[in-house]
Structure 1
């Protein structure tokens, strides 16, 4: 019985690339990081920076997002210290990483590099984002929004699910990204050791 358990535990887990071609995965992750650069600088930062910094069309896009998706957290970031701290973390640590990750995936799409050098930062980013978005989704589903501005707060279950779904998109991308990096063929410690021995 013990040998069966050990054999099962020692097997290499299924890889994301077993189900989706590597070229498609790399392009999806590149697109995700490019989108994150634009959306963080263009929309998310508006919640904490003075309005005069942004052109009117970006301010109206921010308002449209907050009203359409009933996002009270992004509409008034200063009112939610926990959300403000997540935003500050994103601005100072995630935005530089977005550029690094986009460059890494661009290099790999063009066959110039593998992702071994960006593996640990990707794991750190993905796990932190999974943790942060989990909290935001739970707030979207469980918070009492009765005292909030009605334009920027979900009023029913469907609107709560919509808001949680918006943040759930980032959660999902990060889960797939961290699973991809952790199960990638050329990056497991056993395979690296085997290549060194050969």
Structure 2
């Protein structure tokens, strides 16, 4: 009674009528009807909305929230990132410049003079005479101990720290930088105290040229002052900067 592919209303012998009989092939019975025209576009929208609600595709609201969140995270932090990189570059330049000063000037006090060419020896004598530095002319034992620490501990640390700060994003430098900063500040305090308050006219420990007035004391203090100020900046930077403090908080968790 019905054509092929359409349900038939013909009753089968010996059975009660149970509804129309589907003569379509089994595969076509379970096929989802494919919408046409505008209905197809609406079907796609419904499918996309269903996928988004199921977590398969991000919704427009979620995408908008992500963009706004990223903009909120990025815009205010650009200034903080630029400031952090400026301080890191300052620290990197400090450590790079410290390497030749330590090797060619400071360590002449504790290393054999045969290791240095005459030009470096003349440079040290010129500095000691020009700035009247009594510690470099005839260094006391306590000052030599500081220079030995500089040779054994600080000098190997200089290239490592320069690499870390020039590269950036090296949170592992935090603890070594704090140790270096505290050690350097500790050694500079007695040095600067000697330059500012020592009575060189009565001191028998120091020989050679010595600062004779307050202006010469300030000049000599100004030569050593950067090696107190920069480690102090380094210490505060490692302790207070949120980027480097985050590593410590994560370890505690």
- The answer to whether the 8 A contact 1:186-1:192 is kept is no
> In the TM superposition, what whole-angstrom CA distance separates every residue of 1:37-76 from its partner, at most 9, and x where no partner exists?
1100110001112222111111111111111221111222
> In the TM superposition, what whole-angstrom CA distance separates every residue of 1:148-192 from its partner, at most 9, and x where no partner exists?
4443x1111111111222221110001111111111222225884
1:32 corresponds to: 94
Aligned pair 1:93/2:153, yes or no?
yes
Q: Which of these residues, 52, 63, 66, is aligned with residue 128 of structure 2?
A: 66
In terms of Rg, which structure is larger? Answer: 2
Deviation of 1:22 (Å) = 2.4
2:192 corresponds to: 137
- The answer to whether the 8 A contact 2:137-2:207 is kept is no
> In the TM superposition, what whole-angstrom CA distance separates every residue of 1:7-29 from its partner, at most 9, and x where no partner exists?
xxxxxxxxxx86x8223212211
Q: CA RMSD in A?
A: 2.3
Q: Give aligned pairs, total.
A: 171
2:176 corresponds to: 121
Matches within 5 A, 1:68-87: 68-77=130-139, 80-87=140-147
Aligned pair 1:177/2:234, yes or no?
yes
Summarize the Cα distance change of 1:191–1:123 in structure 2 as closer, same or farther, 3 Å threshold: closer
The answer to which structure, 1 or 2, has the higher relative contact order (CA under 8 A, 6+ apart) is: 1
Which consecutive segments of 4 or more residues in structure 1 shift more than 6 A?
A: none
Q: Comparing both structures, which one devotes a greater share of its residues to helix?
A: 1
TM-score (norm 1): 0.78
Aligned pair 1:162/2:219, yes or no?
yes
* Distance in 2 separating the partners of 1:106 and 1:150: 41
Summarize the Cα distance change of 1:191–1:71 in structure 2 as closer, same or farther, 3 Å threshold: closer
* Distance in 2 separating the partners of 1:53 and 1:190: 43
- The answer to whether the 8 A contact 1:141-1:160 is kept is yes
Q: What 5-or-longer segments of structure 2 have no aligned partner?
A: 1-78
Deviation of 1:141 (Å) = 1.1
Summarize the Cα distance change of 1:92–1:102 in structure 2 as closer, same or farther, 3 Å threshold: same
